[in-house]
Amino acid sequence: MNWNARRLARHFPDNPATAADVVAAMCGAHAQVMSAAELSIGLRMPGVTRVEVREALWEERSLVKTYGPRGTVHVLPTRDLAMWTGALSSLPAGRIDLLTPDQIEQVVEAVGVALKDGALVIDELDEAVTAIAGPWAGDRVMDAFQTKWPRWRQAVHLAAHRGVLAFGPTRGRKVTYINPGVKPADSDSAKAELLRHYLHSYGPSTPQHFARWLSAPVTWASRLFEEVAPEKVEGGWVNRGDTRAPDEPVRGVRLLPYFDAFVVGSHPREQLFPGQAWERALARGQAGNYPVLLVDGVVAGVWHQRRSGRKIDITVEPLAELDAWQMAQLGEQVERVGEIMEGVPRLTIDKITVGPHA
């Protein structure tokens, strides 16, 4: 079965109606670097630019920026936020050594109250949470970027997973936070639904791969697989009855940005990163650190962009020579990146000397 072709087709649906449909198909767009999220979404929607993505986030509110899988910043469909928060809040909490369980509950409640009347920047939220929860919440004991943050911030991602915190529109250059006002769905139904979403986008998969994608214990993921009882096929599990895969091999060229969901979530890695791609496009086995060139559905190079005003210099390093048809498709992808990012792109084929995250 051509499972990689199936995943690619699921991640790039034909004629998606809305940005929320695209993000749902991806099971969330990684948004630690917002421009990468805008590219991930835009490259799946012909004609859409970063303007429409921002409108969906901050005006239509059909998308929400919050802490998602692995505790990292993601863009999620607002319509699915109750499912996401219900599932994520059911995960084992992980290491939070600066707060007692009772203090965690106080912080989550304080964050919800502090944000109920509108958006706050982080300094304002520090003051509000400390005023509500008590002076202990403001103790600067959390190591962060050569400084110390208030104690309560160790539970920021938990507040998001409980549905009382998300990112708001920027105020000047400052990030704001809002209370999205969502009530998490029942945890049992939510985590089962999230697994079904995941298997639709990434199946066949295994409990080990699902646990890695979500940053959850493998034992927790294995129990969930047993409860949901997906169908076993060659290579792992899929949703019951969802066993079809494309008959034809993937053809074509795509550019994918940092931490694109397709690259991060697809396993086994050997299938997506064959040969030289394993050494060139992964960082100690971790996907997403390099923007990648896909040729016929597998990683076949890396790329880098540098912006100066409206000019966008895009350097692509293929791992094998591209034929004329592939070069033409690459040119179209470069033009599309320029369109999404509202710039004028220029393509160069050359070796990339900068490291990951550059």
Could you state, in order of their start, the residue ranges of all structural domains in the chain? 93-183, 187-238, 253-349
Tell me, what's the pLDDT at 1? 67
Return the structure tokens found at 26: 């991806």
Residues 41-99 have pLDDT tens digits of 999 999 999 999 999 999 999 999 999 999 999 999 999 999 999 999 999 877 789 99
| Percent of the chain at pLDDT exceeding 70 | 99
* H or E element, residue 190: helix 187-202
pTM: 0.95
Q: What single letter denotes the amino acid at residue 179?
A: N
Give the burial string for 286-319 (b: 16+ CB within 10 Å, else e): ebbbbbbbbbebbbbbbbbbeeeeeebebbbbbb
Contact 89, 72 (CB under 8 A): no
Q: What single letter denotes the amino acid at residue 50?
A: R
Tell me, what's the pLDDT at 146? 86
Q: Residue 326's CB: how many other CB atoms inside 10 A?
A: 19
Beta strands in the chain (DSSP E): 29-30, 63-67, 73-77, 120-121, 140-144, 147-150, 166-171, 174-178, 231-233, 236-238, 253-256, 292-295, 298-308, 311-318, 344-349
Query: If we measure between CA atoms, which residue out of 248, 224, 250 comes closest to residue 237?
Result: 224
d(C-alpha 28, C-alpha 87), whole Å: 14
Query: If we measure between CA atoms, which residue out of 303, 84, 107, 99 comes closest to residue 198?
Result: 84
CATH topology of domain 93-183: Arc Repressor Mutant, subunit A (1.10.10)
pLDDT under 70: residue ranges of the chain: 1, 358
First-residue to last-residue Cα distance in the chain = 36
Residue 302 to residues 20, 141, 272, 278: CA-CA distances in angstroms? Answer: 28, 40, 13, 11
Residues 5-32 have pLDDT tens digits of 999 999 998 888 899 999 999 999 999 9
